Amino acid sequence: MTSFDTWPFPVATAADVATLEAAADVVHTPCGDGRMTWHTWGDGPAVVLLHGGAGSWTHWVRTIGPLVAAGRRVLAADMPGFGDSAEPPDGHDADVLPRWIAEGLARLAPREPFDLVGFSFGGLVSGLLAAGGTCPVRRLVLVGAPALSAETMPPLPLRVWERLPPGERRDAVHRHNLGVLMLSRPDAIDDLAVSLHAANIVRDRMRRRRLMRTDLLLRTLPHIGCTVQGIWGEEDALYRGRLDVVRHALAQAPRAGAPVFIEGAGHWVQYERPEAFNQALARALDAPA
């Protein structure tokens, strides 16, 4: 078992990711006729990590080690329709996923209160899960979550990658798209970010995700009974120049804390500014439940 006291922070190479994955217990829970995949590490109070769209558990490679070192049991999902998990049999958007996640957690952490951290699309899913009342969510931390406004956002200039064969040309498109949506600084778009994104996006079978472009999370927040915290990058492409949307939305939760905005970070804030993010997350998870 890897010692997280000596783990290199941040994770910087594919070899670091492989070591992190090798230290995990990989477990499966039902998803229709297939199964949902979870990577788990550590012991202690549980924290559940839900990744973003076109992602998997690897959206959290720079978050997992510090959580385990802090004495947490980490359960990082591949949500249905992403990563190594089966497609959900009952739909292809955020509203069908809480059922399968809740069923998995009932098996992995029965009746155990847990903290829930959701990134991007996973933030929307985590809000629906917390509001549903089927799981003992102790704290909810939203990270770069969408669906906070009915205002239509201008389309982002993302490039099509599917027609290109694997290799340098496709990776160049991935690098461009990471700069448009995920990461704010060119130096953050490193080889590891490209390789993680490339491996995740080809396994994304829920690409439409229409509910992300609504105000569903805004309308859900008033119905969440647990403490709600939020962390965003100041340069998040979804909210650039309109961070007041985030402040207004988060305030709709009955037990909301003030959102934290991390300087020099875009949408994938936990990858781009891991030290600042992990400090903010630690504070959020230490807040009164």
**CA–CA distance from 249 to each of 16, 79, 86, 228, 243 (Å)?**
37, 25, 32, 11, 10
Please state which CATH class domain 14-286 belongs to: alpha beta
For residue 118, the model assigns a pLDDT of 99
Q: pLDDT by residue (tens digit) across 21-60?
A: 999 999 999 999 999 999 999 999 999 999 999 999 999 9
* Mean pLDDT within 104-133: 96
Residue 4 has pLDDT above 70, yes or no: no
The model's pTM is 0.96
CB 268 within 8 A of CB 183: yes
The residue ranking higher by pLDDT, 72 or 111, is 72
Q: Where are the domains of the chain?
A: 14-286
Q: pLDDT by residue (tens digit) across 229-274?
A: 999 999 999 999 999 999 999 999 999 999 999 999 999 999 999 9
**Mean pLDDT score of the chain, rounded to an integer?**
95
Q: pLDDT by residue (tens digit) across 122-161?
A: 999 999 999 998 899 999 999 999 999 998 888 899 999 9
Peptide bond preceding 45 in cis form (omega within 30 of 0): no
For residue 1, the model assigns a pLDDT of 46
What confidence tier does 278 reach under pLDDT thresholds 50, 70, 90?
Answer: very high
For residue 9, the model assigns a pLDDT of 67
* Mean pLDDT within 110-120: 96
Q: pLDDT by residue (tens digit) across 68-83?
A: 999 999 999 999 999 9
Please state, in angstroms and rounded to a whole number, the distance separating the CA atoms of residues 118 and 175.
Answer: 24
Please state, in angstroms and rounded to a whole number, the distance separating the CA atoms of residues 142 and 224.
Answer: 12
Angle between the N-to-C axes of helices 168-177 and 191-201, in degrees from 0 to 180, rounded to the nearest 10 = 100
Residue 116 has pLDDT above 70, yes or no: yes
CB 263 within 8 A of CB 269: no
